[in-house]
A and B are shown apart, each in its own frame.
Chain A
Amino acid sequence: MYDIKALYEAESVQDAIRLLQEHPEAQVLAGGSDVLVQIREGRRAGVELVSIYMLDELRGVTIDEDENIRIGSLTSFSHITNDPIIQKYINVLGEAVDMVGGPQIRAIGTIGGNTCNGVTSADSASTLMAWDAIIEITGPEGVRRVPIRDFYIKAKVVDLRPAEIQTAILIPKESYDRCFGHYIKYSMRNALDIATTGCSVNVRLSEDRKTIERVRIGYGVAAPVPVRAYTAEEFLNGKEITDANIKEFAETVLNDINPRDSWRAGKALRRHISVVMAERALRESISLAGGVVNG
């Protein structure tokens, strides 16, 4: 028995916004795999819920007129993993959300819920950070778009204003074109476990595949919100693919991350692992992009 005051079923995005205006304390319910767990734990007692789960218009992956990959916020993890557009352009995202584990969760968990919960360990978070995703938000004032790095404000808090809902996640062409990436989830167990640290890297190589044209690296659980390691990226951009450069890139991530001690793992472990993962994910990304390490 959950302590829920009321459930309002939205019939359209506009209807959802209206319901949220009428019930300013209400929480948006998507798949429910996070929100209902929190309610069950006794958090959010007496909450009102506005369900957007019936809004099929928020489901699906398309390429829009600006050539952005547009992922509707209610698109489920299993849908993303199996979607041909995702598989073609940003397969790493499909792999990342597949690690959530269990067909029951993958069927119901949504990419929107996974980002709106503001949790740094969310399996999609570091990859969306590393691919400079744009969050599309619809509210009483219309639609606005926010880069994902600005969307995360602090732990469990995202940039959603009153009566706003997240309606899509966009990956701009400039972000996915000729990019290849790899995600590593470091956790104690394989399925149904929370990431100790997650690392997502992607690269775009030069024509001759000897130089890193652009690298991006995102982390989950390396700070209170998902973060990028910009110092490391700046170091490697435009550099030749060499062992020394790869290693220095990996070491440099320590300037950008700030993991903490918790009962799950100590700071020392998370720092150590972050460096190891940076190197491994980078090497894998380079290899996916057809690059080779020169000396």
Chain B
Amino acid sequence: MISCIINGKKRSFDIEPTRRLRDMLLMNGNFAVRDSDDAEGFCGSDTVLLDGTPVFSNLVLAGEVEGCEIRTPDSLGNSMNLTVVQQALVDAGVVQSAYNAPAAALLMTWLFENNPSPTREEVKDVLSGIFIRDAGYEHYYLAAELIKEKLAGGEYKTEIAPEFRPNLRAVGKVMPKIDAPQLVSGERAFVEDYVDDDTCYMVVLRSPYACAYVNKIDTSKAEALPGVVKIITAYNCPDVTYMSAGQGNPEPSPHDRKLLNKKVRHVGDRVAAVIAETLEEAIRARDLIEVEYEPLGAVFTVEEAMAEGAPLVHNGIVEYRAGAPDDLEEYNSKAGDEREGKVVYQFPLHGDIRHNIAAANHGFIGDVDKAFAEADAVVEATYQTSQIQHTPLETHICFSKLENGRLIIYASTQVPYHVRRIVSWVTGLSENKIHVIKTRVGGGYGSKQDILVEDLTAYATFATGRPVLYHNTREEEFIANSTRHPMRVHVKMGGKKDGSITGIYLKVDANTGPYGNHALTVPMNSCSKTLPLFKCDNMKYDLTIYYTNTPPAGAYQGYGTPKGTYGLMMAMCELADKLGVDYKEMVLKNHVEEGYMLEILKGLGEGREGNVVPVGSCGLREAVEKGCEMIEWGKREESDDPDWKIGKGFAMIMQGSGLPGLDHANAICKLEMDGSIIVTSGAADIGTGLDTIIAKVTSDILCIPIDKITVISGDTDSGAFDTGSYASSGTFFSGNAAVVAASNLRKKIIEEAAYQSCEDAEDFELEWPGKVVSRKTGKVLTFYEIIHTSTSGTGRGHLIAPGSFTTAASSVPYGAHFAQVAVNVRTGEIKVQKFYAIQDAGTPINPEAALCQMYGASLKSIGHTLYEDMILDKDGRCVNANMTDYGVPMISEQPDDFKAVLIDVNDDHGPFGAKSISEIACNGAAPAIGNAIHDACGVWMRSWPMTPEKLLRELGKIK
């Protein structure tokens, strides 16, 4: 028995002293003590106070806490009654995906209990043990100020964020994210909080080889173990070929895998899934499975993949659902045996798997060769990006069960409807038999746009009839999940002495890893979201996407854009340098502006012809001018220490707001019996505040306070179809669907009021809060009165309005990111002193959340630029598949002077003029920092990460 005091109450536990303190706290119901599976002491999600001192509860044994006093995050206020600290975190906008927000609240509480007026350094020190990937740390400093003000005088004095659209009550206003109180107080929110008691655990046996046939699997010893329920292998799983990307159907990605394959294609690939009564039994059984592998040659880089006679990652039969080439039969005569599986293109993507090519695309406008010939200077260089992991605090997880003859799936996903479709394919169940419930999502960043665990977990339940929980380890996040595609971006750019760009050529060779999810579209974005920044008549691109045996690649915030932007903006800076033109002047001379017709988009659809559209709302020039003014462009900074050289750089950036012509969103707006509103949306809020956006637009359209609106989303039973949260579509598509639904309900309410009053509908208008007023007679009906009458036995029924949104319009967010770096030319250290993210997001509906997302994405991409890199050994094993060794930026890496600024632009198509905000913020750091490094010390850093070692080599200091 272990006795201790937890949150002021005496508790005794019958638990092995060798269990972790966290296990004991879970037994006690303190589930807000989370586990980011970093039991190396990194993320801080498991932080508790032990005798008044913060510790990682995964690094303390239960046996060590006898007689101790423990405080957990859920001991602070609950969602109806937040403490000052919790409320300040909510108000500052940092409670986003929030997996460790309760732990952060506990640390901040501890800080303020010991020191009511902490300095910025003290705040930094306390937060140095917690990893925040979504919102960055800047607004934690702001929250600290708010707490101080509240404790001192009872009121906030500091401005949290600028507000927009004074004519509106909710849109553009600083207002708590509607799910933030629940999240910060650590109430039930994530998949792990909904797991039933009788649940089985699933673990996956993973390939030790980068490429091998699985010739035989002997599971007899494993199956003989008590507790083992089932083992699934390539030899007993459904013969269904699909792929993991959650994209619109039919997908622009080759279907090239089954649940489990007879050929494993990367270290970490699925070999067998073990379902057992307990996790320990599942692991023990996994270790007893005997596999006969036939190792094969492997390729890890695009150079290796394209080499003559290279081992083939896929060499099965190729099929086309549409547009099969004439010589397909001959092509397939060269296929390997059935162990290779097959590759099914939904429509042609110009792949050639017999040369490791998953997809390709080419296009041009004008004549680049002529443009280069006429240029005064031409630059040409190759830029290499690295393999980067999303590192969400909540690793991938899925819980599934059968209920009432249906398959129920609790998923941490960006794409509930795509999850349902793919599970339907794998199990053969029709979609009405599958219910996907998206819980809160503890960090997505694109990695939860792929169906990486739901397919196998749901199938395990389908095959066994048992509730099944699957939860990735941190190592599996790295080796068996998805990552940013490594890309080789070759840029050729020509310009005139007056600074005009005559031609741009972009050749992108991308590494999609072993499977083709997002194979075409991620690399495509490196062209389609970069070339349209330039007013240039001669542009050409060649994209080739290679299969390799690295850990898989997939969607990652920014998609392919950060890589294209890196190459193009650095080449442009180099060209300016060569021409003797100021880079800023060159940017101003060549960037697009409203109305410019984007001919280049013709070839850049997602596997089909793209829409040629003019540039719409565009705050690009303002962003560049504003940033240059803030960073004092052109002024040289000197350090007191001659070893430190200081330089400045910036980059233009753009993204999209969803995929016009492909994305689709729906919402249903319902007037409830007391006049309050429930909006059911197909949207998948992954912590970004999408539910709040839906509530806010509904509030402004229906003239009703936000606390009278509830948003239910991400549930495939109650909502209507939505393609999901990816491609920056949330605000634009799901937000617009809510606008349509609310507007339809508004119309119905007015019509009903007119009917009930025997007046004309055109004489009525809505009035705050929740009333309908006749301009003609002055009659006032409250929403309550209207719905009460309409749902009485003699009324016309419930007022419900659906709203559907699709569009051909393209609303592009623009911006510019600026960096000032200090480079130590002796030690190679690179310090980002200043970073300014200036963005045109149209109308920022949640301004404080918008700023936090800009900070979070900027810091993350500073990490991609300077530190993050998955390193593979010669056999394709990732040698740094944990948080400490992989190296993400934390509070100490944040620039001292960090600013996010929103440019006020109103868009014609977005909901209340809003465009997307978060994804674009990943695009600028690499070229801004790269150009600043050149400005500081004269070298061009042409590969990620830009390490001291590479810098010193470029400077000739080491060999």
Q: Residues on A close to B: CB < 8 A? A: 1-2, 4-7, 9, 29, 32-33, 36-37, 40, 49, 51, 53-54, 101-105, 107-108, 186, 188-194, 263-266, 268-269, 271-273, 276-277
Contact A272 B958 (CB under 8 A): yes
A-B contact pairs, 15 of them (CB 8 A): A7-B63, A9-B64, A37-B39, A40-B39, A40-B40, A49-B61, A51-B63, A102-B130, A103-B53, A104-B55, A186-B827, A189-B889, A268-B958, A272-B957, A276-B827
Contact A36 B39 (CB under 8 A): yes
Encoded as 1 (CB less than 8 Å from any A CB) or 0, chain B from 484 to 499 comes to 0000000000000000
Q: How far is the CB of A203 from chain B (nearest CB, A)?
A: 21
Q: B residues within 8 A CB of A33?
A: 41, 56, 59
Residue of A nearest to B283 (CB): A1
In this complex, the member of A29, A49, A51, A276 whose beta carbon has the largest number of chain B beta carbons within 10 angstroms is: A276
Q: How far is the CB of A277 from chain B (nearest CB, A)?
A: 8
Contact of B41 among A54, A192, A265, A276 (CB under 8 A): A192
Contact A269 B42 (CB under 8 A): no
Q: How far is the CB of B488 from chain A (nearest CB, A)?
A: 21
Contact A102 B18 (CB under 8 A): no
Q: How far is the CB of A90 from chain B (nearest CB, A)?
A: 21
Residue of B nearest to A184 (CB): B827
Contact B867 A107 (CB under 8 A): no
Q: B residues within 8 A CB of A188?
A: 867, 887, 947-948
Select the stretch in B121-129, B675-683, B903-911 that faces chain A.
B121-129
A265 to B947, CA, bound (A): 10
Contact of A104 among B47, B880, B885 (CB under 8 A): B47
In this complex, the member of A268, A271, A272 whose beta carbon has the largest number of chain B beta carbons within 10 angstroms is: A272
Select the stretch in B295-303, B718-726, B779-787, B890-898 that faces chain A.
B890-898
Contact of A191 among B61, B880, B891, B959 (CB under 8 A): B891
Contact A102 B41 (CB under 8 A): yes
Contact of A189 among B17, B54, B887, B959 (CB under 8 A): B887
Contact A103 B128 (CB under 8 A): yes
Q: A residues within 8 A CB of B889?
A: 189
Contact A194 B884 (CB under 8 A): yes
B294 interface residue, CB < 8 Å from A? no
Contact A1 B952 (CB under 8 A): no
Q: B residues within 8 A CB of A186?
A: 827
Q: How far is the CB of A47 from chain B (nearest CB, A)?
A: 9
Q: How far is the CB of B941 from chain A (nearest CB, A)?
A: 15
Q: A residues within 8 A CB of B217?
A: none
Q: A residues within 8 A CB of B18?
A: 2, 4-7, 49
B362 interface residue, CB < 8 Å from A? no
Q: A residues within 8 A CB of B130?
A: 102
Given known pairs A101-B129, A104-B129, A272-B958, the reply for A32 and B61 (CB within 8 Å) is yes
Please list the 9 inter-chain residue pairs (A to B) with the smallest Cβ-Cβ separation, ordered nearest first. Answer: A102-B129, A190-B892, A4-B18, A268-B958, A40-B39, A191-B892, A107-B53, A191-B128, A104-B129
Residue of A nearest to B41 (CB): A105
B279 interface residue, CB < 8 Å from A? yes
A contacts with B: majority SS: mixed
B775 interface residue, CB < 8 Å from A? no
Q: A residues within 8 A CB of B370?
A: none
A33 to B129, CA, bound (A): 13
A7 to B63, CA, bound (A): 8
A-B contact count (CB 8 A): 132
Contact B887 A266 (CB under 8 A): no
Contact A102 B128 (CB under 8 A): yes
Contact B879 A7 (CB under 8 A): no
Given known pairs A1-B279, A36-B61, the reply for A105 and B56 (CB within 8 Å) is yes
Residue of B nearest to A98 (CB): B125
A6 to B18, CA, bound (A): 7
A32 to B54, CA, bound (A): 14
Encoded as 1 (CB less than 8 Å from any A CB) or 0, chain B from 127 to 143 comes to 01110000000000000
Q: A residues within 8 A CB of B948?
A: 188, 269
B613 interface residue, CB < 8 Å from A? no
A127 to B125, CA, bound (A): 22
Given known pairs A32-B61, A263-B879, the reply for A103 and B107 (CB within 8 Å) is yes
Residue of A nearest to B46 (CB): A104
Contact B64 A51 (CB under 8 A): yes
B826 interface residue, CB < 8 Å from A? yes
Contact of B884 among A5, A7, A193 (CB under 8 A): A193
Q: B residues within 8 A CB of A4?
A: 18, 61
Residue of B nearest to A37 (CB): B40
Encoded as 1 (CB less than 8 Å from any A CB) or 0, chain B from 39 to 69 comes to 1111010010000011110111101101000
Residue of A nearest to B67 (CB): A54
Q: How far is the CB of B616 from chain A (nearest CB, A)?
A: 40
B23 interface residue, CB < 8 Å from A? yes
Q: How far is the CB of B49 from chain A (nearest CB, A)?
A: 10
Chain B residues 862 to 885 lying within 8 A of chain A, measured CB to CB, are 867, 871, 879-880, 884-885
A24 to B325, CA, bound (A): 71
B19 interface residue, CB < 8 Å from A? yes
Extra A-B contacts (11), CB below 8 Å, given A104-B54, A107-B55, A108-B55: A1-B23, A7-B17, A36-B39, A36-B61, A104-B44, A105-B41, A186-B827, A192-B41, A192-B129, A194-B885, A269-B949
B280 interface residue, CB < 8 Å from A? yes
In this complex, the member of B130, B879, B952 whose beta carbon has the largest number of chain A beta carbons within 10 angstroms is: B952
B621 interface residue, CB < 8 Å from A? no
Chain B residues 907 to 959 lying within 8 A of chain A, measured CB to CB, are 947-949, 952, 957-959
Residue of B nearest to A78 (CB): B53
Q: B residues within 8 A CB of A277?
A: 827
Encoded as 1 (CB less than 8 Å from any A CB) or 0, chain B from 325 to 366 comes to 000000000000000000000000000000000000000000
Given known pairs A51-B64, A263-B871, A276-B826, the reply for A36 and B59 (CB within 8 Å) is yes
Contact B892 A103 (CB under 8 A): no
B20 interface residue, CB < 8 Å from A? yes
Q: B residues within 8 A CB of A266?
A: 949, 958
Contact B129 A103 (CB under 8 A): yes
Q: A residues within 8 A CB of B885?
A: 194, 264
Contact B890 A7 (CB under 8 A): no
Contact A37 B59 (CB under 8 A): yes
Q: B residues within 8 A CB of A54?
A: 64
Q: B residues within 8 A CB of A264?
A: 885
In this complex, the member of B23, B867, B892 whose beta carbon has the largest number of chain A beta carbons within 10 angstroms is: B892
Contact B59 A32 (CB under 8 A): yes
Q: B residues within 8 A CB of A51?
A: 61, 63-64
Q: A residues within 8 A CB of B54?
A: 103-104, 107
Contact of B63 among A9, A40, A104, A105 (CB under 8 A): A9
Q: A residues within 8 A CB of B891?
A: 191
Q: How far is the CB of A23 from chain B (nearest CB, A)?
A: 14
Contact A268 B959 (CB under 8 A): yes
